[in-house]
Amino acid sequence: MNAPTPPPTELAGHLNRLGLLVDMPAPADRPASAARASGEAEALWRAGAVPAPDLAEALAGLHRVQRMSFAEVAAARPRIEGLSRNFLREAFAYPFELDGAVAIAVADPTGEHLPAVRLALGGAPRLVIVSFEEIDLLFERATPDAAGHAAQGADAAAAADTVEALKDLARGAPVVRLVDQLMERAIDLGATDIHIETGRDELRVRLRVDGHLRTEQTAPRHLAAAVISRVKILANLDIAERRLPQDGRANVFIGRNEADLRVATMPTMYGETAVLRILLKDSRLLEFERIGLGGRDLAAFKSLLAEPHGIVIVTGPTGSGKTTTLATAMQVLNDPTRKIVTVEDPIEYQIPGVHQTQIKPSIGLTFATALRSFLRHDPDVIMVGEMRDAETAAVGAQAALTGHLVLTTLHTNSATDSVVRLADMGVESYLIASALRGVLGQRLVRRLCERCKREDAREAETARALAEERGFRIDPMARFFAAQGCAACGQTGYRGRVGVFEVMRVDDHVRSMIRENPDPTAMLAAARKGGLTTMLEDGVAKAGRGMTTISEVLRTTG
When pLDDT is averaged across residues 127-135 and rounded to a whole number, the result is 90
Instruction: Specify the higher pLDDT residue, 290 or 265.
Output: 265
> What tens digit of pLDDT does each residue of 209-261 get?
888 898 888 888 888 888 999 999 899 898 888 889 999 888 888 777 788 88
Distances 215 to 140, 191, 486 between C-alpha atoms, Å: 15, 12, 18
When pLDDT is averaged across residues 173-182 and rounded to a whole number, the result is 84
Q: What is the C-alpha separation between 77 and 105, in angstroms, rounded? A: 12
Q: What is the C-alpha separation between 416 and 176, in angstroms, rounded? A: 49
The predicted structure's pLDDT at residue 122: 81
85 phi, psi to nearest 5 deg: -60, -40
Instruction: Specify the higher pLDDT residue, 169 or 413.
Output: 413
CA 144 to chain centre: 24
Whether omega for the bond prior to residue 8 falls within 30 degrees of 0, making it cis, is no
The predicted structure's pLDDT at residue 276: 95
Q: What is the C-alpha separation between 480 and 160, in angstroms, rounded? A: 56
96 — pLDDT class (breaks 50, 70, 90): very high
Angle of helix 535-544 relative to helix 550-557, nearest 10 degrees, comes to 160
The predicted structure's pLDDT at residue 379: 93
When pLDDT is averaged across residues 297-319 and rounded to a whole number, the result is 93
8 A C-beta contact, residue 445 and residue 556: yes
State the SS3 of 425-476. CCCCHHHHHHHEEEEEEEEEEEEECCCCCEECHHHHHHHHHHHHHHCCCCCC
Q: What is the C-alpha separation between 284 and 472, in angstroms, rounded? A: 33
Residue 217 in 3-state DSSP? strand
Burial of 259-268, coded b for 16+ CB within 10 Å and e otherwise, reads bbbbbbbeee
